[in-house]
Structure 1
Amino acid sequence: MDKTNAPLSAGYHDVAPEMLATIVTCLEMTARPDPRPNPPADGLSVERWIAPTLDEYRSVYRRVGENWLWVSRAVMEDDRLRAIIEDPAVEIYTMMRDGERLGLLELDFRESGQCELAFFGLDQSLIGSGAGRILMNVAIDKAWEKPISRFWVHTCHLDHPAALAFYQRSGFRPYKRMVEIFEDPRQTGKLRADAAAHFPVLRAK
């Protein structure tokens, strides 16, 4: 997680129009939860993605995350991104159907004894279909195959509105809340201007 500052005082706090503010919730599980059944697969499968190219990775990353304002990997320097996705302690999986990549799962084991659910997302066409449960069951299985004592994730209110409850149903427990303020990527050209229409762009007067 990024460096945090002192807690905000109660009350309203102005945010510059070119910036976004979001509430981040950090969640963790410290033991493997009881398994939850998979829904019908409907032709879906989850496969390990070995050595994706940068273009392939960013294409899937944008596909599943652009509507939720995922931007970090889309604009990350090539060398830095390559070092992450080629690190043997980082495992990448995709949800597949008919040869098409429709979901992204990234597990980061770079910190000893822990696993971060770094990225978890689906194509819009799969949301609400049960595909998320299939992908999460794989995430939990793969994470706890390793000798870890903690599996953790963070989400924010810019994500799908059902994301936080879904993580809790999956066995994660909230333990910290933060406010993150960052540059609106739609106003800088880092994301397309009409991304995340549910969260309006504010223009300086």
Structure 2
Amino acid sequence: MALAPGFYDLPPGTLATVVTHLEMRAPAVPRPAPLPDGVTLRRVRSPGTDWYRDLYTRVGADWLWFSRLRMQRAELTAILTDPGVEIWVLEKDGRAEGLLELDFRQEGDCELAFFGLTGTLIGSGAGRFLMNQAIARAWARPITRFHVHTCTLDSPAALGFYRRSGFTPTGQQIEIATDPRLTGDLPRDAGAHIPLYED
């Protein structure tokens, strides 16, 4: 459904975000970036849901990532153990501090399902290194499209970073969801830059 121009009221307890869809149809030329000192890249096969949600939350809580926190354990386990899904992490001092999730479950496509760093690695160049890995590993399989979506709840740098990485915007949508700070999915002080709108 297309919305007409104008303002729309949101019910209390909800969030609205603009979602931008992007894709690349051929491997982008990598922008050189070394792996930061003391950081390693590792694939995690069939991660446990508690481990995954801990990393997901440390990467995304400031941006109100919540979708994987609302999933039933069995549903999330099915995704994380699917052979069409790859989980890669950047580790520093033995702890995962960067998340790369590639989803090949749709034939011919790869979705950059989740991508991000904790505050430990932001600004270190690790994001560019991880994106180079994402592009190389996505196109190592027989795909014709590598795609991602980001939204206005994500880091303000995300959209520009994806475009510089070779993704091209293909469309936008408005998403309305229950605020995860009111459901217990995230603490009430998460995403402090986004007003908590209650009745």
**CA shift for structure 1 position 40:** 5.2
Q: Residue type of the partner of 2:40?
A: S
Are the aligned partners of 2:58 and 2:118 in contact in 1 as well (CA < 8 Å)? yes
| C-alpha RMSD of the superposition | 0.9
Q: For residue 151 of structure 2, what is the aligned residue in structure 1?
A: 156
Aligned with residue 56 of structure 2, among 61, 72, 92: 61
Letter in 2 for 1:124: G
Q: How many pairs align?
A: 199
CA offsets per residue over residues 131-166 of structure 1, 9 Å max, x none? 110110110010000000000000001100000000
The residue identity in structure 2 corresponding to 1:99 is G
Identity %, equivalent residues: 55
Among 18, 24, 41, the residue aligned to 1:23: 18
Counterpart pick for 2:179 among 177, 184, 196: 184
Q: Distance in 2 between matches of 1:26 and 1:66?
A: 21
Aligned to 1:82: 77
Please state how far the C-alpha of 1:97 moved relative to its aligned partner: 1.1
Give the match for residue 36 of structure 1: 31
Cα displacement (A) at 1:39: 4.0
Q: Distance in 1 between matches of 2:85 and 2:56?
A: 15
Say if 2:171 is the partner of 1:171.
no
Which residue of 2 is the match for residue 99 of structure 1? 94
CA distance in 1, matches of 2:31, 2:142: 21
2:120 to 125, 132, 140: 125
Please list every run of 5 or more consecutive structure 1 residues that lacks an aligned counterpart in the other structure.
1-5
**Structure 1 residue 8 corresponds to structure 2 residue 3:** yes
Task: Say which SS state the counterpart of residue 97 (structure 2) adopts.
Answer: strand
Amino acid at match of 2:166: G
Listed as ranges, the gaps of 5+ residues in structure 2 are none
The TM-score, its normalising length taken from structure 1, stands at: 0.95
Match of 1:3 in 2: none
SS at match of 2:120: helix
Residue identity matched to 1:62: T
SS at match of 1:105: strand
Aligned partner of 2:188 among 184, 188, 193: 193
Secondary structure of the structure 1 residue equivalent to 2:111: strand
CA offset digits 1:38-76 (Å, max 9, x no partner): 145122122101121111111111110111111111121
* Residue identity in the other structure for 2:181: R
- Which structure 1 residue ranges, 4+ long, deviate > 3 Å from structure 2? none
Q: Give per-residue Cα distances to partners, 1:10-47, cap 9 Å, x unaligned.
A: 01111112100000000000000112101451221221
Equivalent position SS for 2:143: coil
Q: Confirm or deny that 1:71 pairs with 2:66.
A: yes
For residue 108 of structure 1, what is the aligned residue in structure 2?
Answer: 103
Alignment TM-score, normalising by the size of structure 2: 0.97
